[in-house]
Structure 1
Amino acid sequence: MKYQFITIEGNIGAGKTTLAHLLARKLNARLVLEEFADNPFLPKFYENPKQFAFPLELFFMAERFKQLKEMIHTTDLFKSITVSDYLFTKCLLFARVNLPDDEFRLYQRLFDIIHQQLVFPDILIYLHVPVAGLQRNIRKRNRSYEQNIPDEYLFNIQETYTHYIKQHNIKTLFVDAANADFLGNDQHVQVILDALEKDYDEGRHYISLP
């Protein structure tokens, strides 16, 4: 395997965690999953975004930093590859959407202080799913606090991700996951595994699923 640290990203409901589990199993990799369920502000945020956005994002940033920092300092002798279902920079991307300008500037200062202490992934897999598909997935997994997420919010998150990837020229496998069925179709996972065997230049490299 050419990549020792693989990160999967995408919008809410894109299938990040499902694919991370499958890749980690196929590659015998260490799995790092975002512990979003531990964030006590998440249900409150969906009920009242303006009031709870800042503590929500601060909690996420602190927990992600702690988790990734521990990963750096913990060696697994039997697993040389790590697969994660989030990019630390997602802290900044979601904060850009959720916070007013003055709070975002403060948040960004904190982010800039700590993110330099972390390791950036060797390659990013970005799962692109249209908003209608995201909403179907969100309804299917049936988390109560997610059921009223507006299309506009998902669209804004989508735009923020794609702008960031394009602007920073990150080595990215940009996967059209509109019809992805990673659990039910082994070919879809195999396409990703085959893609990870290749060398890539910086920038986006588009992957289609059969």
Structure 2
Amino acid sequence: MKYSFVTIEGNIGAGKTTLSHLLAKHYNARLILEQFADNPFLPKFYENPQQYAFPLELFFMAERFKQLKELLQQKDLFQNVTISDYLFTKCLLFAKVNLPDDEFRLYQRLFDIILQQLVQPEILIYLHAPVSKLQQNIKKRGRTYEQGIADDYLFSIQETYTHYIKQHNLRTLFVDASNADFLGNEKHLQVIVEALDKEYEVGQHYLTLP
């Protein structure tokens, strides 16, 4: 393993948490999982996005910052690798999709102040799946408040992520997750493990699963 801090990202339903659990087990790594279920505004947002988008995004940003700040400051003698199932910058990306321009500008000012205080991952694994696959996964996991997510919303999130990654030239393993089954197919997990044994230049590097 060439990296001590790895982040998994992707759209809603892409399989971030599943892959994070498997990689953390494989490397005996410390695991940071997003506490999305604790956000009291999430069900309300899906019912009334315009009214609840700003408090939703503020709550997410505060919670993600608190969690990352506390965990990444702690030294763990037994776990040299940290795996996270979210990138702090997702705060900004979702806010860009969900907020009107004036609220987004305010949000971005707060985000820029907070971002400077956090350690950034050495490599990002981005799971890219078509919206039809995302919808299958969303229905399969059965979270009630997610069942009405529109295809257009998922397309917007997808475009925002890919644009940001390419624009900021992050060191990224861009994984085609169209047929991903990390739990059921050991070969899929092995592709990721073998990739993390290599050193990559900054930029996008593309992986396909067998």
Is TM (by shorter chain) over 0.5? yes
Q: CA separation in 2, counterparts of 1:178 and 1:39?
A: 29
- For residues 37-90 of structure 1, give each alpha carbon's deviation from its aligned partner in whole angstroms, at most 9, with x where no partner exists: 000000000000000000000000000000000012211110000000000000
1:151 — aligned with what?
151
Instruction: Give the equivalent residue in structure 1 for 2:175.
Output: 175
For 1:162, the equivalent position in structure 2 comes to: 162
Tell me the secondary structure at the aligned position of residue 56 of structure 1: helix
Structure 1 position 29 matched with structure 2 position 29: yes
- State the AA in 1 paired with 2:136: R
Q: Which amino acid in the other structure matches residue 23 of structure 2?
A: L
SS of the aligned residue for 2:197 comes to coil
Distance 2:73 2:165 in 1: 27
The superposition leaves residues 18-50 of structure 1 with CA deviations (integer Å, 9 ceiling, x where unpaired) of 000000000010000000000000000000000
- Tell me, what secondary structure is at the counterpart of 1:76? coil
Structure 1 residue 112, shift from structure 2 partner: 0.6
Aligned residue in 2 for 1:101: 101
Deviation per residue, 1:69-126 (Å, 9 max, x gap): 0012211110000000000000000000000000000000000111100001000000
Listed as ranges, the matches of 1:47-126 within 5 Å are 47-126=47-126
CA RMSD of aligned residues (A): 0.4
- The one-letter code of the counterpart of 1:167 is Q
Q: Distance in 2 between matches of 1:178 and 1:38?
A: 29
Identity of aligned residues (%): 77
Task: Give runs of ≥4 in structure 1 deviating > 6 Å.
Answer: none
1:186 counterpart letter in structure 2: E
The residue number in structure 2 matching 1:8 is 8
Worse-matched range after superposition: 71-80 or 13-22:
71-80
Distance apart, 1:181 and its partner CA: 0.3
Corresponding residue for residue 40 of structure 2: 40
Q: In 2, Cα distance between the equivalents of 1:150 and 1:165?
A: 23
Give the 3-state SS of the residue equivalent to 2:116 in structure 1. Answer: helix
- Residue 139 of structure 1 corresponds to which residue in structure 2? 139
Structure 2 gap segments, 5+ residues each: none
- What is the alpha-carbon distance in structure 2 between the residues aligned to residue 46 and residue 80 of structure 1? 38
What is the CA–CA distance in structure 2 between the aligned matches of 1:89 and 1:124, rounded to whole Å?
A: 12
In the comparison of the two structures, how many residue pairs are matched?
A: 210
Q: Distance in 2 between matches of 1:147 and 1:114?
A: 32
TM-score normalised by structure 1 residue count: 0.99
SS at match of 1:117: coil
Residue 77 of structure 2 aligns to a residue in which SS? coil
Matches of 2:66 and 2:190, distance apart in 1: 32
Q: Aligned AA for 1:163? A: H
